[in-house]
């Protein structure tokens, strides 16, 4: 038995959160003890396993700001994660052998002041998730980007979520040539998907619509959700029947605290009105696991619109529930969706997506055929059992090394890190 603490920035509802929760469930099934430490956990906006006590959660540092005057989100996220690490190492009563941290590597110098081994799970390099259009933004991001690369290299083990991300890791962190990250696909626990789906209600799926397209993703601009609405509008030019009997459900993770969620939600509703398809689109802000099962089981096809997505857990869930997938031909979906067998891989443009969508409108048997092929592919290649075995093996290898001696170098790194953060704060505030 190995004692594992998961250190995660925000245990809300998203792909990264689903990945670490499933990792914890997998380790727990192998009799390891697991515990979450996070900067934010809202029982009204989280996955069921962290709400019902299946996984124990300690939230610390939520009083720290998420932004400074609507800016500096990255800096604040780093500070919140570092604070959680300081709590874990110096003030918590938790006993642990391994710390599994993800998304933000800046906390690793603090974690190395303990004797625990550090596993870092890289969903995607944070430095690639923002643009630097102004010189001010470049100056602001430079020390943060440097810290990300240096602190990522301090982990005892680095995992990535796909072969695509592994390639990006190598191209981005050029100083970390000695590190070859291991690919661990974040496969969901299918036992939750195997539960019975409730019959669809009118607030989820409109009645009397023979073709329903579904989009599931957070309301964030990088998820390119506007593509689904634009593709729906393009159907008017592709199929002579237009939008008769066709409906699009936009279901997304939504957090009222996040400005982008609110803004993008309104932008998408406005786009639906401008393109003349508002009567054929409905929006759902967050949903339960039961509702997700119903949506996936009763939809004709999933539209997965992110470009260069790191992995993408929703296409796996959709195929497992026999819902075919139309996805952008890049990133993780290239590794999970088999073109013209379990769905279609398209260029990120509305005409390509609508051309694939019309196939499901004209051929009702195509969805059933691809749905069965999708489930077969997931069962054969992406089993939760294989995911758990691989993660268990990684944890055992780290544990076999025994407790790590606390290094003076780690203290030096931590002091240097705190100094840079303080300088950044001074620069931003004054």
Say if residue 424's pLDDT is above 80.
no
| Residue 417 binned pLDDT confidence (cut-offs 50, 70, 90) | low
Of 360, 381, 402, the one marking the end of a domain is 381
The string of DSSP codes covering 7-76 is EES--SSSHHHHHHHHHHHHHHHTT-EEEEEES---TTSS-HHHHSSSS-EEE--TTS-S-BTTB-HHHH
| Residue 140 binned pLDDT confidence (cut-offs 50, 70, 90) | confident
Can you give the pLDDT at residue 415? 55
Q: Tell whether 286 and 234 lie within a shared domain.
A: yes
Q: Tell whether 195 and 325 lie within a shared domain.
A: yes
Query: In what order do the strands lie in the sheet containing 246-252?
Result: 281-285, 246-252, 211-216, 301-304, 325-328, 343-346
CA distance 83 to 147: 16
- Helix, strand or coil for residue 1? coil
Q: Tell whether 206 and 144 lie within a shared domain.
A: no
Burial of 283 (0-12, 13-18, 19+ CB in 10 A): middle
Q: Tell whether 125 and 226 lie within a shared domain.
A: no
- Is the separation of the CB atoms in 158 and 179 below 8 Å? yes
Higher pLDDT, 36 or 191: 36
- pTM for this one? 0.83
Give me the CATH number covering residue 33: 3.40.50.2000
Average pLDDT over residues 307-325: 94
Q: Which residues contact 206 (CB under 8 A, 6 or more apart)?
A: 212, 247, 282
Average pLDDT over residues 287-296: 92
Can you give the pLDDT at residue 430? 46
Q: Structurally, how many domains does the chain consist of?
A: 2
Can you give the pLDDT at residue 373? 98
Q: Tell whether 222 and 115 lie within a shared domain.
A: no
Chain Cα centroid distance, residue 37: 18
Q: Tell whether 322 and 418 lie within a shared domain.
A: no
Can you give the pLDDT at residue 414? 57
Average pLDDT over residues 195-200: 89
CA distance 323 to 295: 10
pLDDT in tens, 31-46: 999 999 999 999 988 8
CA distance 81 to 7: 8
Say if residue 418's pLDDT is above 70.
no
DSSP annotation of 195 reads: S
| Residue 72 binned pLDDT confidence (cut-offs 50, 70, 90) | confident
Average pLDDT over residues 128-148: 88
Average pLDDT over residues 371-396: 94
Q: Tell whether 216 and 364 lie within a shared domain.
A: yes
Q: Tell whether 33 and 165 lie within a shared domain.
A: yes
CA-based nearest residue to 187, from 317, 10, 17: 317
DSSP annotation of 405 reads: P
Range of the structural domain that residue 412 is part of: 3-187+385-429
Q: Tell whether 329 and 392 lie within a shared domain.
A: no
Average pLDDT over residues 61-84: 90
pLDDT in tens, 212-227: 999 999 999 999 999 9
Say if residue 412's pLDDT is above 60.
no
Average pLDDT over residues 335-350: 97
Average pLDDT over residues 99-109: 95
Say if residue 409's pLDDT is above 70.
no
Say if residue 427's pLDDT is above 70.
no
Q: Tell whether 106 and 52 lie within a shared domain.
A: yes
Q: Tell whether 409 and 354 lie within a shared domain.
A: no
Q: Tell whether 270 and 303 lie within a shared domain.
A: yes
- Helix, strand or coil for residue 290? helix
Say if residue 425's pLDDT is above 60.
no
Can you give the pLDDT at residue 185? 94
- Is the separation of the CB atoms in 231 and 357 below 8 Å? yes
């Amino acid at each position: 038995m190995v004692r594992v603490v998961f250190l995660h920035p925000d245990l809300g509802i998203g792909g990264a959160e689903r990945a670490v929760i499933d990792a914890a469930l997998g380790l727990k099934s192998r009799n390891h003890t697991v515990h979450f430490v996070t900067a934010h956990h809202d029982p009204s906006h989280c996955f069921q396993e962290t709400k019902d006590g299946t996984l124990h959660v300690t939230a610390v540092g939520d009083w720290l700001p998420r932004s400074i005057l609507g800016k500096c989100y990255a800096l604040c996220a780093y500070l919140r994660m570092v604070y959680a690490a300081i709590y874990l190492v110096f003030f918590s009563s938790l006993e642990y052998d391994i710390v599994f941290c993800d998304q933000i590597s800046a906390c690793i110098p603090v974690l190395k002041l303990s004797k625990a081994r550090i596993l870092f799970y890289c969903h995607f390099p944070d430095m690639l998730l923002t643009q630097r259009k102004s010189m001010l933004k470049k100056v602001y991001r430079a020390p943060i980007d440097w810290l990300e690369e240096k602190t990522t290299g301090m982990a005892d083990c680095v995992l990535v979520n796909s072969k695509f991300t592994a390639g990006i890791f190598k191209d981005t962190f050029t100083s970390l040539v000695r590190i070859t990250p291991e690919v661990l696909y974040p496969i969901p626990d299918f036992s939750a998907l195997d539960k019975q789906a409730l019959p669809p209600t009118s607030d989820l799926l409109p009645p009397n619509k023979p073709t329903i397209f579904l989009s599931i993703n957070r309301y964030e601009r990088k998820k390119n959700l506007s593509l689904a609405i634009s593709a729906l509008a393009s159907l008017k030019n592709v199929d002579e029947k237009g939008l008769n009997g066709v409906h699009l459900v936009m279901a997304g993770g939504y957090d009222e605290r996040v400005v982008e969620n609110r803004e993008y939600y309104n932008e998408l509703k406005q786009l639906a009105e401008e393109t003349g398809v508002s009567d054929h689109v409905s929006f759902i802000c967050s949903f339960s696991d039961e509702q997700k099962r119903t949506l996936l089981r009763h939809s004709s096809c999933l539209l997965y619109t992110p470009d260069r997505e790191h992995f993408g857990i929703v296409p796996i869930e959709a195929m497992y529930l026999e819902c075919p997938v139309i996805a952008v031909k890049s990133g993780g979906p290239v590794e999970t969706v088999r073109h013209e067998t379990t769905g279609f891989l398209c260029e990120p443009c509305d005409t390509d997506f609508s051309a694939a969508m019309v196939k499901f409108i004209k051929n009702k048997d195509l969805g059933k055929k691809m749905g069965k092929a999708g489930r077969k592919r997931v069962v054969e290649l992406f089993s939760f059992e294989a995911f758990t075995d691989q993660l268990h093996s990684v944890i055992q290898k780290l544990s076999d090394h025994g407790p790590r001696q606390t290094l003076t170098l780690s203290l030096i790194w931590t002091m240097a890190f705190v100094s840079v953060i303080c300088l950044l704060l001074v620069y931003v505030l004054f």
